[in-house]
Structures are given as C-alpha cells and as structure tokens.
Amino acid sequence: MMKLIYMGTPDFAVPALERLASVHEIVGVFTQPDKPRGRKMILTPPDVKVCAERLGLPVFQPDSMKTAESAQLVKSLDPDVIVVAAYGQILPKAVLDAPKYGCVNIHGSLLPKYRGAAPIQQAVLNGDEVTGVTTMLMDVGLDTGDILLKEETEIGENETSGELFDRLALMGAELIVKTLDLLEKGMLTPQKQDEALASHTAKITKASCPIDFSEPNRRVHAQVRGLSPWPVATARFGGRTFKIFRTRLCESSGRAGEIISLKPLTVACGSGSVIIDELQPEGKKRMSGEAFVAGYRAEKGQRFE
C-alpha cells in the first residue's frame, strides 16, 4: 500500500480516485476551486470533490499550485507518490520533486500522440480507429514525461467522444493501479517519448461546430462524433440552427447538404452521405431524424447548410 495524493477535477478523474481509494492510502485530494455553473451560475463543486467527500477523504482546492504555501502543503502530507488525472493546473518543480516515486499522470491517449487539452476528442475528430490511455512520469513540460504503461482500445465507428471518454476513464483507473503496483516493486522502466511523433491538441471551441457538408461523409461523421456531447456540431435548415448529436455513414450520394432520403433522414456530403439519427433545434428538445422530418415538413431536395 502506498501513501498518495490525488489531483484531478472532472468526471474523467473520478473512476481512478474510486479505484485507488480501495487499494491505497489517500492522504489528500487536490481539485480545482468550486465554480459557478448553469444559467443561474450556482457555485458547484468539481466531480472529484464530490467523490472525495463521499469517500471521506480530505479535500484541498488551492487557486494555484505555484505558491510556496501549496508546495509546503504537499510536503507536509509526505506522499509516496502523486497521481494526476485532468487536474487543470501546471505543477511546479517543487511539487513534482516532493514524492519518493514522483508524479504519475493518467493521460487519455497513446502518448506521444495527442498531448494537450483535448486528446480524446481529437482522436475521434481525426477519425482514428485506435486510441488508449497512458501513464507517465510527469516533468515540467506539457505531457512530455517518460512513459510507464499504455493500454490500447479500438474506437467504435459510431462512438462519440463522450462515450469514449467514459471508457478511457475506466481503463485509466485500472492502468494506474497496475502502474503503481509495478512502480513500487521496481519493475517499471520509464521510456522516453519520441518527439518526432508528438502532436499538441488545443482546447475545443464552438468555432469547430458548423458542419461543411461538402466534406467527405467520414469527415462529417467524425466531426459529429468528436463534438458530442460538447460543444456539438451544428447545421442550418430553414433559417434555424440545429445541433447534430448522432449520425451514421451511408454510401448514397447527391448534392452536398441535400436531403436524399427521409426514412431514414439522409443528407448528402462531398462524397457519400450521413444518416442523421438525433438532432436538436434551437431552444427545443432533442429529437430523432424521423420526428424532425414530421415536425419540420422536410422534403427530399431541401438542403442543410
């Protein structure tokens, strides 16, 4: 059993915290400060804080890890190792060097590919067929540390980034337990990352949402999957903006953006087409493609833009 500090913030980091709490002594959970959320801007705790409090673990929410006070707090807890998963803060050298076994990060891609803020979404957006999780020893760079373990998984043809996110979170939870076990036994040899294979992923924004139906259907389908459940791909029809949540590939062809079938709702792309299974008009609830056709009196030959 190791004595560890856990650092994480969103739901991706929850399964690993739960799993680690069952086999190790967690002396402190560090997470981001509570933030206002929703239309009413209600102050809301991070998912990791909610989980930690349910498990009866001490929670710390410093505004910055770069202060002398934060470094001293970490040292006072005297951890064997620090585990980090989507924490959202850069750790200074004073914190990285504090534990006996260093800081181990759970990363949602097969490093060195897809460093940065959005590795899971980017794998889906790029139409990758395989991704995975990596555990690595952290250094002062951004996801540049030595690799400890990796585990691969195939990406489903219709799998969204949200669904993949949940699967990788569970995979990461098991991989970090295995990593710490081997690390404590001295059975791991850290491997340097190949910088020539590295790529950086920027934060996903709403600028990525509008669909260009002149693109091939696989690119459109990857965009829809990669941006679901947030920020969600969009298209305009009849002067209104619709969020497009789910599509499937189809080989039928036609003029880009044109509805070429109503049952199921099929829209032509630059090559091939996509079946729209779920969409949402502005200010209304999600609906099926069939409900859209009935409610908006869609006809073959009309176009999405």
User: Is 46 in the same domain as 177?
Assistant: yes
pLDDT at 37: 87
> Is it the case that residue 172 has pLDDT exceeding 90?
yes
> Is it the case that residue 178 has pLDDT exceeding 90?
yes
User: Is 179 in the same domain as 213?
Assistant: no
Task: Please give the Cα distance from 223 to 233 (Å, whole number).
Answer: 7
Task: Please give the Cα distance from 173 to 91 (Å, whole number).
Answer: 21
User: Amino acid identity of 236?
Assistant: R
Average pLDDT, the chain: 97
User: Is 186 in the same domain as 214?
Assistant: no
> Is it the case that residue 133 has pLDDT exceeding 90?
yes
> Is it the case that residue 70 has pLDDT exceeding 90?
yes
Quick check: is 187 in a domain? yes
Task: Please give the Cα distance from 238 to 198 (Å, whole number).
Answer: 43
Q: Can you give the CATH number for the domain in which 246 is found? A: 3.10.25.10
Quick check: is 48 in a domain? yes
pLDDT at 105: 98
User: Is 25 in the same domain as 99?
Assistant: yes
Quick check: is 300 in a domain? no
Give 271's strand partners: 216
pLDDT at 44: 96
Do the strands 265-268 and 25-30 form a parallel or antiparallel pair, or are they unpaired? unpaired
pLDDT at 39: 81
User: Is 89 in the same domain as 163?
Assistant: yes
Quick check: is 301 in a domain? no
Quick check: is 171 in a domain? yes
pLDDT at 297: 93
Q: Residue 166: how many CB atoms within 10 A of its CB?
A: 15
Query: End-to-end CA distance of the chain, in Å?
Result: 57
pLDDT at 210: 98
Task: Please give the Cα distance from 262 to 267 (Å, whole number).
Answer: 9
The lowest-confidence range among 31-40, 124-133, 204-213 is: 31-40
pLDDT at 242: 98
Task: Please give the Cα distance from 250 to 253 (Å, whole number).
Answer: 8
- pLDDT band, very low/low/confident/very high, at 144 (cuts 50, 70, 90): very high
User: Is 277 in the same domain as 152?
Assistant: no
Q: pLDDT, tens digit, for every residue of 239-291?
A: 999 999 999 999 999 999 999 999 999 999 999 999 999 999 999 999 999 99
Q: Can you give the CATH number for the domain in which 135 is found? A: 3.40.50.170
Q: pLDDT, tens digit, for every residue of 29-41?
A: 999 999 998 888 9
Quick check: is 57 in a domain? yes
User: Is 94 in the same domain as 227?
Assistant: no
User: Is 66 in the same domain as 8?
Assistant: yes
Q: pLDDT, tens digit, for every residue of 10-56?
A: 999 999 999 999 999 999 999 999 999 888 899 999 999 999 999 99
Instruction: Decide which of 201, 230, 260 is a domain's last residue.
Output: 201
Q: Residue 37: how many CB atoms within 10 A of its CB?
A: 11
Task: Please give the Cα distance from 125 to 119 (Å, whole number).
Answer: 10
Q: Which domain holds residue 245?
A: 206-295
Both tokens of 174, joined, read 């098991």
Q: Say if CB 71 and CB 77 are below 8 A apart.
A: no
Report the share of the chain in percent with pLDDT over 70. 100
User: Is 184 in the same domain as 53?
Assistant: yes
Residue 249: which residues within 8 A CB-CB, separation 6 or more? 157, 217, 218, 221, 272, 274, 275
Task: Please give the Cα distance from 257 to 305 (Å, whole number).
Answer: 6
Quick check: is 271 in a domain? yes
Q: Say if CB 12 and CB 165 are below 8 A apart.
A: yes
Quick check: is 305 in a domain? no
User: Is 191 in the same domain as 212?
Assistant: no
Instruction: Decide which of 177, 201, 225 is a domain's last residue.
Output: 201
Task: Please give the Cα distance from 249 to 18 (Å, whole number).
Answer: 37
Nearest to 115 by CA among 193, 168, 179, 231: 193
User: Is 258 in the same domain as 243?
Assistant: yes
Place of tokens 């349910």: 54
Split into its structural domains, the chain has a count of 2
Tell whether the torsion through CA atoms of 162, 166, 167 and 172 is positive or negative: positive
Q: pLDDT, tens digit, for every residue of 73-105?
A: 999 999 999 999 999 999 999 999 999 999 999
User: Is 50 in the same domain as 91?
Assistant: yes
pTM of the model: 0.95
Instruction: Decide which of 152, 181, 201 is a domain's last residue.
Output: 201
